A and B are shown apart, each in its own frame.
Chain A
Amino acid sequence: MSTPKPQAPRPRRRGFSDRSLAWFFVGPSVLLLLAINIFPLVWNIYLSFTNYAANRPGTPVRGMGTRNYERLLSQEDVWESLQHTAHFVTWSIALQVLLGFGLAWLLSRKFRGSGLWTTLIVLPMMLSPAVVGTFWTYLFQPQIGIFNAIVGLFTGTTEFSMIANPNLAPWAIVLVDTWMWTPFIMLICLAGLNSVPRDLYEAAEIDGASSWRQFWTVTLPMVLPFLMLAVLFRGIENFKMFDMVNELTSGGPGSVTELANIYLKREAFEKWRTGYAAALAVILFVTVFGFANIYVKVWNAVKQR
Chain B
Amino acid sequence: MLPPNPIKIGAAALGAALISLSPLASSEAQGEELTLCWAAWDPANALQELGKDFTAQTGIEMNYEFVPWTNFADRFLNELNSRGQLCDLLIGDSQWLGLGAEFGHYVKLNEFFEEEGIRMEEFLPAGVYNYATWPKGEPEYWALPAMGDAVGYVYRKDWFERPELQAAFEREFGSELAVPETWDELLQVAKFFQGRKIDGRERYGIALYTERGSEGITMGITNALYSWGVEYADPQNPYEMEGFFDSPEAVEALEFYKELYECCTPPGHSDAYMVANLDAYRSGQVAMQMNFFAFFPGIAKDEDVGDVSGFFVNPRQNVEASVLGGQGISVVSYSDNQEAALEYIKWFAQPEIQQRWWDLGGYSVHNSVLEAEGFEESTPFAGQFLEAMSNVRDFWQEPAYAELLQAMQRRVHDYVVADEGTAEEALDKLIEDWNFTFEMEGKK
Contacts and interface: CB of A to CB of B under 8 A. Distances in A.
B418 A39 contact: no
B352 interface: no
B90 to A, nearest CB: 15
A231 interface: no
Given A55-B402, A141-B268, A61 B1 contact: yes
A55 B105 CA distance: 10
Nearest to B413: A254
A221 interface: no
Interface residues of A, number: 40
B376 interface: no
A251 interface: yes
Given A166-B417, A252-B418, A254-B418, A58 B268 contact: no
Contacts of A59: 2, 103
Interface string B139-156: 000000000000000000
A56 B403 CA distance: 13
A151 B322 CA distance: 41
A272 interface: yes
Given A57-B103, A271-B403, A253 B3 contact: no
B80 to A, nearest CB: 8
A256 B440 CA distance: 28
Contacts of A303: none
A266 interface: yes
Interface stretch (A118-126, A156-164, A188-196): A156-164
A271 B267 contact: no
A85 interface: no
Which of A159, A164, A256, A273 lies at the interface centre, i.e. has the most chain B CB atoms within 10 A of its CB? A164
B267 A61 contact: no
B418 A255 contact: yes
A266 B406 contact: yes
A272 B267 contact: no
Contact of A271 (B99, B103, B104, B406): B406
Interface of B is mostly: loop
A270 B410 CA distance: 12
Contact of A253 (B74, B78, B271): B271
B1 A60 contact: yes
B245 to A, nearest CB: 19
B77 interface: yes
A269 B212 CA distance: 15
Nearest to B272: A164
B174 interface: no
B212 A164 contact: no
A254 B417 contact: yes
Contact of B103 (A56, A252, A254): A56
B402 A164 contact: no
A164 B270 contact: yes
A31 to B, nearest CB: 14
A154 to B, nearest CB: 18
Contacts of B73: 270
Contacts of B270: 161, 163-164, 252-253
Interface string A263-292: 000100111110000000000000000000
B361 interface: no
Interface in B395-418: 399, 402-403, 406-407, 410, 413-415, 417-418
A253 B2 contact: no
Contacts of A61: 1-3
Contact of B269 (A47, A164, A166): A164
Contacts of B403: 271-273
Nearest to B213: A250
30 contacts: A39-B6, A43-B6, A50-B3, A51-B440, A55-B80, A55-B99, A55-B402, A57-B81, A58-B103, A59-B2, A61-B3, A143-B268, A163-B270, A164-B268, A164-B269, A164-B270, A251-B213, A252-B212, A252-B271, A252-B418, A253-B270, A253-B417, A255-B413, A256-B418, A269-B74, A269-B78, A271-B403, A271-B407, A272-B77, A273-B403
Interface of A: 39-40, 43, 46-47, 50-52, 54-61, 77, 140-143, 159, 161, 163-164, 166, 249-256, 266, 269-273
Given A55-B402, A272-B77, 16 more contacts: A40-B6, A52-B3, A56-B399, A57-B2, A61-B1, A141-B268, A143-B267, A159-B267, A164-B267, A166-B418, A252-B417, A254-B212, A254-B417, A255-B413, A255-B418, A270-B73
